[in-house]
Chains A and B, each alone.
Chain A
Amino acid sequence: MTLVHQDVVETDAARGDAAVRLDGVSKVYGRGPASLLALDHVSLAADRGEFVCILGASGCGKSTLLALVAGLDPVTAGTIDTTGHRIALMFQEPALFPWLTVTGNVEIALRMRGVPRSQRRAEAARLLETVRLRGFEHKRPHELSGGMRQRVALARALAQDADVLLMDEPFGALDAMTRDILHDEIERIWRERSLTVLFVTHNVREAVRLGDRVILLSSRPGRVLEEYPVRIPRPRRIDSADVAELAATITDTLRAEVARHGH
């Protein structure tokens, strides 16, 4: 295990083309005896155009990690380098604004980015086309299904014109069929737009289905436990034998990590 870690550090240093790089990042919440160490010296990097899945059980600080990269929260120690890259973040809940239509929810992101009014409508239509929601422009969020809402949220994230997309368990609340379709969709959009994706999940198969690399975090505090390059050719299916095999290996490590927190 130590070997793997060493190996990672070296290759990261050698690459030097990372879109996102974390060096010894720690995050402590609170102060004194009540303080909680959420992340402990986490170092990882995502190359330009890479799809990196960050996997971990509860309490591994997965969401914290993304919040730090997105700049929503300051780090306690270490550095995060995203110089030259625009970052968008997507959550588990679509969190669409109910007072806006589907188009309005996308346009607000364009507006915040400074896109002139005359171009917003057409740009929003293009983004909704990308997530296959043409014909639903004037619906309200509550009129859509969960999967469709999450696609609006994706269009809104894409509207930020980011090249780095952070996704915090974006499909966690969806049923298997919808999730399966959205895996195909996010994979397609990632390719079309050459995005760098940091995708957080607790679903091992999902991580193997999507990632070029899977980074396993330990729990409480979150540390990088292991890294798995995924060499299964795309397009992949979540129910294929290759995916299942690697997922089983990772699950064993994950189980051992969870068991460590028992007695």
Chain B
Amino acid sequence: MATDTSARVSGLDALELGPQAAKGASPSQLAGKVWQSLWPKVLAVVIVLAVWQLVVLSEWKSPYVLPGPAAVFEELRNEVTTGAFWNSILITMRRALVGFFFAILIGTAIGAAVAAFRPLRAAIGSLITGLQTMPSVIWFPFAILLFKISEGAIMFVVILGAAPSIANGLISGIDYVPPNWKRVGKVLGMRGLSLYRHLILPASLPSFVSGTKQGWSFAWRSLMAGELLVIVVGQLSLGARLQGARDLNDAPSLLAFIIVILLIGILVDIVFNAADKALRRRWGLTQT
């Protein structure tokens, strides 16, 4: 009887789980997969370059102000061999990461506090959403007044730009923890801090990650605006180099830096998407 049930249990389990998908793919299959995801991107770049080249060829503007792709990529190739270029990237990325780090700390603290205390939510819940809709660049005059032309002014605006999104992501994550998980938590004896640690915080992770992703894009935009407006002496950041290129009427260099900034944005987006995807796969939120 016992072995009979045991066989039935494992038999049904095997049937319900379905056949195991073959693991690993042959190199040719893998190459096909990579090509599948790559060719639309390659095509997009080709189209953009072609249109750009056509506009240059039409002589709509003098090549002084609108150089062609060849000139810009030539400039870019020369640029990446210099130490100054990498130093600029270092300065900008350090600002971005430090600002983003503090935005996460502050946004998380505010989000957790607002989610936990009802009166606080009534008081500043809508304020956070309001802040989120404000273009953070409008804070710069005030920031410069407060902190002069300094790193502090840039950090102030970067944090102000990113923290509301991060706080909101956490708040909605906590608000939408499924009630049946909360019941399970209660049944298991989770109270107060342990409820937060073992249930509420992990359960709100997906929403927190998307809030953080949005926060990053606000931080990055605020930083770029800040680097154009607040040029700190001796800190040749990407924004400062961009502004410098404009002052010298150096169009190829200007466009080269725009491309660099675009590429950084794309790279960071890839990282965030990978994190988001990995999380969704672990939770079984995606069909694969």
Hey, which bits of chain A sit against chain B, CB under 8 A?
A: 70, 72, 88-89, 91, 93, 95, 97-99, 108-109, 111-113, 132, 140-148, 156, 160, 177-178, 181, 184-185, 188, 235
Contacts and interface: CB of A to CB of B under 8 A. Distances in A.
Nearest to B14: A145
Given A70-B187, A91-B184, A141-B284, A132 B9 contact: yes
24 contacts: A89-B187, A91-B180, A91-B184, A95-B178, A95-B180, A95-B183, A95-B184, A97-B181, A98-B285, A99-B203, A99-B282, A99-B283, A108-B198, A111-B198, A132-B9, A132-B10, A140-B283, A142-B284, A143-B17, A147-B16, A148-B13, A160-B188, A181-B5, A181-B8
A148 B16 contact: yes
Contacts of B17: 143-145
A147 B12 contact: yes
B199 interface: yes
A177 B12 CA distance: 8
A140 B203 CA distance: 15
A98 B279 CA distance: 10
B16 A185 contact: no
A132 B6 contact: yes
Given A99-B282, A140-B282, A181-B9, 9 more contacts: A97-B184, A99-B205, A108-B188, A112-B194, A112-B198, A145-B13, A160-B188, A177-B12, A188-B5
Contacts of A147: 12-13, 16
Closest 5 CB pairs of A and B: A142-B284, A145-B16, A98-B283, A95-B180, A112-B188
B188 A99 contact: no
A181 B198 CA distance: 32
Contacts, number: 76
A66 B268 CA distance: 50
Nearest to B18: A145
Contacts of A178: 12, 16
A146 B17 CA distance: 10
Nearest to B184: A95
Interface of B: 1-2, 5-6, 8-10, 12-13, 16-17, 178, 180-181, 183-184, 186-190, 194, 198-199, 202-203, 205, 282-285
A177 B13 CA distance: 11
B188 A181 contact: no
Nearest to B180: A95
Contacts of A99: 202-203, 205, 282-283
B96 to A, nearest CB: 29
Contacts of A140: 282-284
Given A112-B188, A145-B17, A91 B282 contact: no
A72 B6 contact: no
A137 to B, nearest CB: 14
A211 B93 CA distance: 67
B283 A142 contact: yes
A156 B190 CA distance: 14
A178 B5 CA distance: 12
Contacts of B205: 99
A97 B2 CA distance: 31
Contacts of A97: 181, 184, 199, 202-203
Contacts of B2: 188
A120 B148 CA distance: 57
A52 B186 CA distance: 24
A25 to B, nearest CB: 19
A147 B6 CA distance: 14
B190 A112 contact: yes
Contacts of B283: 98-99, 140, 142
Contact of B187 (A72, A181, A188, A235): A72
B183 A184 contact: no
Contact of A91 (B9, B10, B183): B183
Nearest to B178: A95
B247 to A, nearest CB: 52
Contacts of B178: 95
Nearest to B282: A140
A85 to B, nearest CB: 15
A49 to B, nearest CB: 21
A131 to B, nearest CB: 9
A142 B288 CA distance: 12
Contacts of B202: 97, 99
B183 A185 contact: no
A38 B2 CA distance: 41
Nearest to B201: A99
Given A72-B186, A97-B202, A99-B202, A235 B1 contact: yes
**Which of A89, A98, A111, A235: most chain B Cβ within 10 A?**
A98
A97 B282 CA distance: 11
Nearest to A109: B188
